[in-house]
Amino acid sequence: MTDTFEPDVIVVGAGLAGLVATHELAAAGRRVLVLDQENRDNLGGQAFWSLGGLFLVDSPEQRRMGINDSYELALQDWLGSAAFDRLDNEDIWPRRWAQAYVRFAATEKRRYLHDLGLRFVPLVGWAERGAGSATGHGNSVPRFHLTWGTGPEVVRVFREPVERAERAGLVRFAFRHQVDELLIEGEACVGVRGTILESSTAARGVASTRSEAGSFEHRAPAVIVTSGGIGHNHDLIRKNWPTDRLGPAPKHLISGVPAHVDGRMLAISEQAGASIVNRDRLWAYTEGIHNWDPIWPDHAIRIIPGPSSLWFDATGQRMPAPHFPGFDSLATMKQILATGHDYSWFVLTQTIIEKEFALSGSEQNPDITGKSIRQVLGNRLAKGAPGPVEKFKQNGQDFVVADTLAELVEGMNKLSRGPRLDAADMERQIMARDRELGNPFSKDLQLMAVENARRSRSDRLARVAAPHRILDPAHGPLIAVRLNILTRKTLGGLETDLDSQVIRPDGTPLTGLYAAGEVAGFGGGGVHGYNALEGTFLGGCIFSGRAAGRALARQSV
pLDDT reading at 412 higher than 70: yes
Span 417-454, pLDDT tens digits: 999 999 999 999 999 999 999 999 999 999 999 999 99
Contact residues for 497 (Cβ-Cβ < 8 A; gap 6+): 93, 503, 509, 524
Q: Cα–Cα–Cα angle for 502, 87, 515, nearest 5°?
A: 15
Structural domains in the chain, CATH included, are 285-486 (3.90.700)
**CB atoms near residue 459 (< 10 Å):** 24
3-state class (DSSP) for residue 399? strand
Q: Measured between alpha carbons, how far is 267 from 264 in angstroms, rounded to an integer?
A: 6
pLDDT reading at 1 higher than 60: no
Q: Measured between alpha carbons, how far is 386 from 357 in angstroms, rounded to an integer?
A: 9
pLDDT reading at 3 higher than 70: no
| Residue percentage of the chain with pLDDT more than 70 | 98
Q: Decide if 5 contacts 527 (C-beta within 8 A).
A: no
**Which DSSP state fits 519?**
G
Q: Measured between alpha carbons, how far is 184 from 193 in angstroms, rounded to an integer?
A: 11
Read out DSSP for 426-448? HHHHHHHHHHGGGSS--S-HHHH
Span 474-524, pLDDT tens digits: 999 999 999 999 999 999 999 999 999 999 999 999 999 999 999 999 999
Of 372, 362, 364, residue with least CA distance to 391: 364
The runs of H, that is alpha helices, within 357-504 are 366-369, 373-381, 387-395, 405-415, 423-435, 445-453, 457-462
**CB atoms near residue 289 (< 10 Å):** 22
Q: What average pLDDT does range 358-373 have in this prediction?
A: 93
pLDDT of amino acid 422: 98
- The pTM for the full model equals 0.96
Q: Decide if 145 contacts 61 (C-beta within 8 A).
A: yes
